[in-house]
Amino acid sequence: MKTVGLIGGMSWESTATYYRLLNEEVRRQVGGLHSAKILLYSVDFAEVEMMQAEGRWSEAGILIGEAALRLEKAGADFLMICTNTMHKVVDQVKGYISIPLLHIADATGEKNVEDKLRSVGLLGTRFTMEEPFYKGRLENAYGVRVLVPNGADRAIIDHIIFQE
């Protein structure tokens, strides 16, 4: 069994979901008392959110890149970032490591193609809904039309994610 490195903490709630789902899938596939081999590096979301809000994406990429490198050195075979928004810095993070980093939009796109979905709705932070790192990847690499809420609704959704 390969060891997955999780870069989490953004939020800890989403990280817990990744942890749970990975272990449920191992139990489903292997059975018994088996569980996933997981290494977790949890960042302080308050630091990351401040970098996002201030547009300091390069610094955020350094932070996530250094976390990725630590996981690789600790023995991870591949990595996952346990949040949509930080996939904005995936290309920068890949420069720190020599192991695969799975892109969440690729997993989503592959499932959309498998399920023959031609049009999907996307909810997330304003960065995820407005910038091309997720929406553009789904549209360009997988031919899926991506619908997002209007500007006012995007602002409400972003507020709920960060404030509630």
- 60, 124: one domain: no
Q: What is the mean pLDDT of residues 102-112?
A: 96
Q: How confident is the model at residue 93 (pLDDT cuts 50, 70, 90)?
A: very high
**Arithmetic mean of pLDDT, 63-84:** 98
Residues 27 and 97 in one domain: yes
What is the mean pLDDT of the segment spanning 21-45? 97
Domain identity same for 91 and 141? no
Q: For residues 82 and 53, give the distance between their C-alpha atoms in angstroms, rounded to a whole number.
A: 19
pTM: 0.91
Domain ranges, residue 143: 105-163
Domain of 133, CATH number, reads 3.40.50.1860
Using DSSP, how many helices (H) and how many strands (E) does the chain show?
Answer: 8, 6
CB 71 within 8 A of CB 93: no
Determine the pLDDT at residue 164.
Answer: 75
The whole-number pLDDT of residue 160 equals 93
- Chain segment 54-66, per-residue pLDDT in tens: 999 999 999 999 9
